[in-house]
Chain A
Amino acid sequence: MFRRKKASFMRTREDIIFDTGNIIFMLILCVFMLYPFLNQIAISLNEATDSVRGGIYLWPREFTWNNYEHVFEKAAIYQAIFISVLRTLVGAGVGLFCTAMVAYAIAQPNFIFKKSVTIIFIMTMYFNGGLIPTFLLMRDLQLIGSFWVYILPTLISAFNLIIMRSFIEGLPNSIFESARIDGAGDFRIFFQIVLPLSLPVLATVALFVAVFQWNQWFDVFLYNSSQEHLTTLQYELMKILQNSSTTSSGDMASAFANSADGNSNMVTPKSIQATMTIVASVPIIMVYPFLQRYFVKGMTLGAVK
């Protein structure tokens, strides 16, 4: 049994220089990465007609909750949030399981279809049949107007599959061999050994799938746009955004009616865009810190040995 030692070594001068430099670099990086978000928050909290003037950086100039009220006053948004959460959870859960299972199989060096299955999946990364054939397929499978059209067509991404395979291949062979000697079948090895040992990569793929599912709106647009109870948050936000640009619709009467519209609930595409960015991204950004604990160093490899 290996017992982890606490880093009891003295920090060398090199370490100190390296760490200081690294921390400074990270701080600068954080400024670059954080700024656009703070900027969007400021715009989303600023009065819409004033935002058109530009020049808002980190702090709103004319503070208001109007933009958020405008977004959340639509009743459809709450159902859409539910669907988004649901498809993210189901999509990530089911997708993760299926991907891991296939990845395990094609990671086995002696699996007879190892190469063919791998190639069959890899190829799908580089082509697609196009919008209309795919649409017709979904129709023929009766997936249109159903929740499953979000889950089934994207069940396994070849990219994630290959990533997962290469991680599983990286697990020490000895683990598998000793398990086999103990009489464990593939399913047992998969569930009891591979899954627990692959937590970091499972977390990674779960994140990839979850973010993908959360951000999707195009499949809603194609397949479920007339099913109000199945639209997602991104789709509803998209709708609100497009509605906010009344003046570009070329609709003279309403454009004029809105002009000089002094009431304060007016929104502009810019302010809605910012609000939308915040509303749509904050929930999914929260997922990562939650998954981070699976990125713990060292793993439990020692325990298995």
Chain B
Amino acid sequence: MQSESSIKTKTMSQADDDKGLKGFLKKCKQQQALLWMTVPFVIWVFIFKYLPVWGWTMAFQDYKPALSFTDQEWVGFKHFLFLFTDDRFLGVLRNTLAQSLINLVLGFITAITLAVLINELSNMKFKRVVQTISYLPHFLSWVVAAALVSSVLSIEGIVNEVLMGLGLIDKEILWLGVGEYFWGILGAAETWKNVGWNAIIYLAAISMIDQEQYEAAKIDGASRIQRILHITIPGMKSVIIVLLIMNIGYILEAGFEPQYLLGNGQNVEYSENIDVFVIKYGISMFNFSLATAAGMFKTVISFIFLIAANSLSKKMGQGGLY
């Protein structure tokens, strides 16, 4: 609050009018251009994003699409109870958290590293080619990607062949048949598929860095690594923080396609996450209410994590999302 108003006083000439309705209206007038830029879209966001939230009432009903709102049968917290009291819920929650955490950490580290390394390539042509090739897997559907992962990991697949050839294992491993490996496989697959895509945004951030700084550092005799650590990375900092906070909010969004496609009876205790559970017991059973209840649960958790991450970041003096 304080910092915000101090900025205001700095730029606003009539700081003392900054009180009451009158001051507010006056400001609105001063900033009418900014209002024109935002108000139409705020209206838009309310219509398209907030209005459909009435649908959350479904979570407390045995929703039947045909009935009008007043005719629905209200069932209180039944669907939440079903979700939370299922024997597997804790396991499912654990899997969701683990999968998305692995994804978060791996995703950030690999994408940032790749962006930095691509940026260090000096041959422009090679750089462009690498950049384009690195994001190709993003355009494969998970059906195709999962089929590939599965065949690579099969008993006669290349992974087993290489490991056997190197003498690291003495019997083929059924990778998808051992639950404990699943998170790792998923993390690797996600990284492979998305690292190039995720790096794009960091490359954009790097290209916004003032070139002068590099030249100056070179003159000062800074080494390659030093330049990366002291110019490139700090130059991306604000983007990294913003992305990190937003992604922490997605802590329960671990995706469902790869888990669904690579999951099987032998690894289900590590592969099944909330979204997969909801598909099985909600959508495929025409139970929109359960799906809604699970969605609400995820939203609440998201907000908690988001707010926590944001205030933590602010406390650390790194600025926040809002």
Q: Which residues of A contact B (CB under 8 A)?
A: 2, 4-5, 7, 9, 12, 14-15, 18-19, 22-23, 25-26, 29-30, 32-34, 36-37, 39-40, 54, 98, 101-102, 104-106, 108-113, 115, 117-134, 136-137, 141, 152-153, 155-156, 159, 162-163, 166-167, 169-170, 185-187, 190, 200-201, 203-204, 207, 273-274, 277, 280-281, 284-285, 288-289, 292, 295-299, 301-302
Contacts and interface: CB of A to CB of B under 8 A. Distances in A.
Interface of B: 4, 7-8, 11-12, 24, 27-28, 31, 33-35, 37-38, 41-42, 44-56, 58, 65, 114, 117-118, 120-122, 126, 128-137, 139-141, 143-145, 148, 151, 192, 196, 200-201, 203-212, 215, 218, 223-225, 238-239, 242-243, 246, 249-250, 288, 291-292, 295-296, 298-299, 302-303, 306, 321-322
B139 A285 contact: yes
A29 B134 contact: yes
B288 A204 contact: no
Given A280-B139, A296-B207, A298-B207, 13 more contacts: A26-B117, A115-B322, A117-B42, A119-B322, A126-B249, A129-B53, A130-B291, A133-B52, A166-B242, A204-B200, A295-B203, A298-B210, A301-B210
A244 to B, nearest CB: 13
A117 B136 CA distance: 36
Contact of B136 (A2, A26, A37, A274): A37
B38 A167 contact: no
Contact of A127 (B192, B218, B299): B299
A140 to B, nearest CB: 9
B288 A130 contact: yes
Contacts of B243: 163
A137 B51 contact: yes
A110 B303 CA distance: 26
A137 B12 CA distance: 42
A209 B321 CA distance: 21
A125 B226 CA distance: 37
Contact of A132 (B144, B206, B288): B288
Nearest to A141: B47
Contacts of B292: 130
Contacts of A277: 139-141, 144
Contacts of B288: 130-132
B208 A129 contact: no
Most buried by B among A9, A127, A141, A162: A127
Given A156-B45, A288-B135, A125 B249 contact: yes
A301 B144 CA distance: 44
A166 B238 contact: yes
Most buried by A among B8, B144, B238: B144
Contact of A111 (B34, B50, B137, B196): B34
Contacts of A302: 212
Contacts of B246: 122, 125, 159, 162
Contacts of A121: 45
Contacts of A141: 47
B212 A19 contact: no
A257 to B, nearest CB: 27
A120 B42 contact: yes
Nearest to A270: B147
A9 B207 contact: no
A203 B8 contact: no
Contacts of B11: 109-110
Most buried by A among B8, B12, B200: B200
Contacts of A105: 34, 37-38
B128 A203 contact: no
